[in-house]
């Protein structure tokens, strides 16, 4: 059957230079934790899941968070690791399947930081790691990281990036958002250290800079580094790592200078202004401040934003497919360069193709069921 491209969305389907590769379009699959990798090893079902999104027209896939080689990196059952022969062999299969379908893919390298608690996989005896000690009824549940701990984490990020390039990934994303490790240092709400990793914005940014520099040194100069950051935290939707554009610049500009190629500005609603007295979104501010390409994300293609109800099941949840004209307009006016689609792609692997072909009315709605299995 011959299909005709919808001219109203043509901006989404322009190629984009990505290191020594070219992405077929501006659509990115957002990283979404799936907990479908028993033993921390991504299996054939995971490979099929990602391949189907590449076949469905996604230009770049960012994998779910995958944990670096550090004792406190993991905080959830059945999430994949990015270390060890078996896990890396599993990821090699994922890469091969995505490339065979014509897609590009990068892993999201992850350390959950102070979100972890004793009792979690893979070693229940290991506490969380973060900027500050956290105790619960006299028991240390989060360990304040020493400089040795920090050096170990920096080295683990670098090794994971090196392995990503070795097994054929097209770049890496560093998870610096949502109250996980790097973000927990960036945010003054979770970092009241008094040493060189706390206090000023420059000090709070130091661990992220060390990770970026180590990763940049570990991979080829044209191997893209994406850095995902957020203002909001899972525990505080109103939180900000930068309360003004100037404060945000003090974080993002040094990261760009250290080697970040693309920023991934995570918001719950991509269209919401980032600061008072300006209509500009977080993605638009990031692009202006750094001069780097930016990925926008946040409820793209759905009529309901992400909330805790998605995970707790406290209310019946259906997010219906909705128009994307406003997002395309912001892309055309240069607010951002790429757009990450999350929940909509969980329910509809063919989302990109259907959008390009003007078949948006055929896109499946997102329901909570899409979180419990891998829809391929």
Q: Which two tokens stand for residue 143?
A: 């360990």
DSSP designation for 145: P
Distance CA 184, CA 171 (A): 24
Among the listed residues 91, 120, 127, 131, the one whose alpha carbon sits nearest the alpha carbon of residue 108: 91
Alpha-carbon gap, residue 206 to 219, rounded angstroms = 20
Contact call for residues 141 and 134 (beta carbons, < 8 A): yes
| Exposure on the CB side of residue 133, measured as CA atoms within 13 A | 8
Ordered alpha helix ranges (H), 82-220: 85-100, 147-166, 181-186, 201-204, 206-218
Which residue, 73, 88, 7, is CA-closest to 41? 88
Token pair in block for residue 50:
């990602």
CA 102 to CA 12: how far, in whole Å? 17
**Residue 25 contacts by C-beta under 8 Å, 6 or more apart in sequence?**
12, 13, 14, 15, 16, 57, 59, 352, 356
| Closest C-alpha to 142, from 176, 107, 184, 174 | 184
DSSP strand pairing (366-367 vs 318-319): antiparallel
Active site residue 180: yes
In the set 49, 50, 129, 180, the catalytic residue is: 180
CB-CB contact of 244 with 275 (8 Å): yes
303: phi then psi, degrees, rounded to nearest 5: -95, 5
Block residue for tokens 């905080």 = 75
Please name which of 361, 364, 359 lies closest in space to residue 1, comparing C-alpha atoms.
359
Catalytic center residues? 180
């Amino acid at each position: 059957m011959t299909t005709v491209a919808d001219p109203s969305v043509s901006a989404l389907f322009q190629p984009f230079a990505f290191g020594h590769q070219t992405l077929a379009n501006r659509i990115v699959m957002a990283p979404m934790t799936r907990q479908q990798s028993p033993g921390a090893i991504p299996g054939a079902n995971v490979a099929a899941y990602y391949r189907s999104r590449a076949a469905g027209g996604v230009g770049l896939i960012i994998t779910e968070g995958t944990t670096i080689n550090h004792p406190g990196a993991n905080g959830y059952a059945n999430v994949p690791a990015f270390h060890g022969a078996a896990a890396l062999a599993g990821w090699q299969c994922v890469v091969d399947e995505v490339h065979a379908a014509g897609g590009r893919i990068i892993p999201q390298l992850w350390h959950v930081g102070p979100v972890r608690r004793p009792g979690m996989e893979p070693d229940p005896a290991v506490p969380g790691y973060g900027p500050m000690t956290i105790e619960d009824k006299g028991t240390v549940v989060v360990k304040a990281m020493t400089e040795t701990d920090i050096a170990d984490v920096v080295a683990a990020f670098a090794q994971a990036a090196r392995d990503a390039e070795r097994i054929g990934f097209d770049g890496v994303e560093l998870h610096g958002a949502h109250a996980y490790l790097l973000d927990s240092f960036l945010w003054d709400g979770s970092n009241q250290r008094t040493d060189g990793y706390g206090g000023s914005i420059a000090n709070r940014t130091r661990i992220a800079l060390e990770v970026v520099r180590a990763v940049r040194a570990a991979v080829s100069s044209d191997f893209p580094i994406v850095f995902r950051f957020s203002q909001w935290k899972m525990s505080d939707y109103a939180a900000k790592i930068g309360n003004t554009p100037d404060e945000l610049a003090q974080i993002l500009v040094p990261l760009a200078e250290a080697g970040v190629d693309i920023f991934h500005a995570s918001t719950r609603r991509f269209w919401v202004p980032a600061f008072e007295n300006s209509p500009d979104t977080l993605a638009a501010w990031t692009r202006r401040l750094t001069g780097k390409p930016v990925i926008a994300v946040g409820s793209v293609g759905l009529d309901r934003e992400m909330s805790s109800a998605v995970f707790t099941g406290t209310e019946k949840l259906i997010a219906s497919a909705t128009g994307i004209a406003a997002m395309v307009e912001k892309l055309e006016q240069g607010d951002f360069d790429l757009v990450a689609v999350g929940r909509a792609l969980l329910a509809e692997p063919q989302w990109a193709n259907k959008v390009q072909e003007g078949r948006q009315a055929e896109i499946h709605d997102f329901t909570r069921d899409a979180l419990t299995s891998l829809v391929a």
